Structure 1
Amino acid sequence: MAAHTRNTKILAVASGGGHWIQLLRLRPAFAGCRVTYATVNPGSRADVPGCAFHTVPDGNRDTKAALIFMALRILILVLLVRPHVVVSTGAAPGYFACRFAKLVGAKSLFIDSVANAEDMSLSAKLATSHASRVYSQWPRVADKFGVECHGSVL
């Protein structure tokens, strides 16, 4: 990404739990930018005071209807925010955000969870076809799947 300015809009998206915690660890990289956060847990708003915050429905491949609602909510969010960059640390919300980023000309970065030490997650595998960049936090996994590795978020 080019030099950060107050005009650079970032949409930072993750599901809950460890994905959200890893996304929060990236906050120093967002300094000087306008950041909008999105996740599945409304209580996570407290983690990003003073920042724009949205919740999206939780869903996965076992809950198809919820997954469709999530995708639609992420699409609307991308169209409303019109980010320059989408950053995700994972799961389905991040995949959809990276997929829809192209609609508004945004770059996208998907960082697979540090928990995926042997294989990439399904959402990371899907993101490789849509995200500008996909990273694994494990060099061996990055080599195996042809994605990038620049160390761990943790």
Structure 2
Amino acid sequence: MKNKKLLFVASPGGHLVQLGLIAECFDDVESVIVSTYKEKPAFLSGDDYRRVDDFSRDNPHLAFKVFMQCFRILRREHPDLVVTTGAAPGLIMVIVGRLLRVRCVWVDSIANSKKLSLSGRIASKLGVSVVSQWKEVAENSNLIYRGRVI
């Protein structure tokens, strides 16, 4: 992936740990990590770090603010690909990415062992490539399965 730029985005906790493991596989590519921490956690690789606000179903009024933050990041960074492990900020980033015609990949969290997450289902309806880390979930939801991150 010479001369390509990847943008990795995830919520804190397990989503970000999984994303960090994925990002490590692309250490030869220019990359930007996006999450909700004020500063980039030490365990993450990546050339640059950008912050967005966190939100969930409990505070959906923040979605528009995050939408605008994601829009500004994508316009500034011009990535070739957005990769996310979720959750809500990752979904907003792929929505904005699709509007700006950026290729996007959603890697559903390893925690979703029985069914695809709500955000993953929404992403799949938007033409985003969705990957499950569980073979059975992938088969039942007509998704891509390439193994587990952890």
**TM above 0.5, one fold?**
yes
1:9-56 alpha-carbon deviations (Å, 9 max, x no partner): 111000000000000001232122110100011243433366210110
Letter matched to residue 147 of structure 1: L
Alignment of 1:1-154 (within 5 A): 4-5=1-2, 7-48=3-44, 51-154=47-150
CA contact (8 A) 1:92 1:123 kept: yes
1:85-139 alpha-carbon deviations (Å, 9 max, x no partner): 0000110111122222234432111000000001111111111022431011011
Letter matched to residue 41 of structure 1: Y
- 1:142 & 1:117 partners in 2: Cα distance? 10
Task: Identify unmatched segments of 5+ residues in structure 1.
Answer: none
- The root-mean-square deviation of aligned C-alpha atoms, in Å, is 1.6
CA contact (8 A) 2:30 2:46 kept: no
Percentage identity across paired residues of the two chains: 29
Letter matched to residue 28 of structure 1: E
Task: Give aligned pairs, total.
Answer: 150
- TM-score, normalised to structure 2, is 0.91
SS class of match (1:26) = helix
CA contact (8 A) 2:39 2:49 kept: no
- 2:144 & 2:68 partners in 1: Cα distance? 29
CA contact (8 A) 1:112 1:124 kept: yes
